[in-house]
Amino acid sequence: MSASLSRGDKFVLLGLSVSELEAFAVASGQAAFRGRQIYDWLYTKGVKNIEAITVLPKVWRSYLKERGVQVGRLQEVRRLVALDETTKLLLGTNEGENVETVGIPTRDRLTVCVSSQIGCSMGCHFCATGKGGLLRSLATHEIVDQVISVREAMDRRPSHVVFMGMGEPLLNCEAVLSAIRCFNNDLGIGQRRITISTVGVVDMLPKLAELALDRLGRAQFTLAVSLHAPNQKLREQLIPTAWRYPIDALLNDCRHYFSITGRRVSFEYILLGELNDRLEHAEQLADLVGDFQSHINLIAYNPIEGEKFKRPTSSRIKAFQRVLERRGVAVSFRVSRGLDKSAACGQLRRQHVESH
């Protein structure tokens, strides 16, 4: 960057690496160690504004503030804590929009479910996020902030990150990969503890693999592809955009992704009561992924007010899982968390928007 900042420029610090912050300090007429001080206050102390970085000279802090330099933190709008301590945050952006993130604790880990967009353009019928359409993609600092905000709210260091919140990560690939770099290098969360979940975007899976190798030097995060149906006809009923991306083409791209990265693909399957949870659906699913080095993650539908879908019974879930196990498919069932506090993705934001 130039040696001085023009008044009114917008420059966000969160998401920058230590070397980038050193360069920023030097370009602003300061010693490189000032950049390292900013780095510590951003990622260790979780500072929210320039004025609060008291280790910096007051004159420089005023200079940066006057010229629009921002830390890039979001504001907590609402917090819901479930009986199982799952914590859902609604975070406000500078322009007054809202982003959801969730902290999911167990004894040994704290997983943060992050959003990559405000809203979603995929329009999955069973998802609250897509009901209002897509407003915009999130910037890197807005993704990174979600992990820091959960860390602060729960007073615990996050160990895992899943891109399973609002939005389609592959439609915001550059910012998602930039955030992953920050999680790795600046927040100490390894790639193998990060998952990118996608419903599928034409031609993007091989591109994701190549971009990850270019931007990160490796692609060790988990790719989770949301199938939600064992055949094209049923998938199109659930996911309006699926007609553009036939399931056979999607699976071929999954194979291509594996050939580039060497990382197995996980498949997400939301069980919708009496719709896609029949035994014949389980058999079809086993046929579909039988030749993959993969894993299927079954998820029971979280009800959304006003929607026709219903949660499957425990007996149907177990029967579906038994069929897959009998067919030799690696499968697990993800227990829903925070059911008493708007557990469905996008539900808290939707409630907030409708109440205002």
Active site residues: 100, 345
- Angle (CA) 237 238 242, round 5°: 80
State how far Cα 196 lies from the chain centre: 7
Question: What's the residue count for the chain?
Answer: 356
State how far Cα 275 lies from the chain centre: 27
* Both tokens assigned to 72: 């890039």
Q: Which of 170, 164, 160 is nearest to 211 (CA)?
A: 170
Buried b / exposed e over 146-173, threshold 16 CB at 10 Å, is bbbbbbebbeeebbbbbbbbbbbbbbbb
Q: Which of 254, 87, 246 is nearest to 155 (CA)?
A: 87
Q: Are 263 and 282 in contact (CB under 8 A)?
A: no
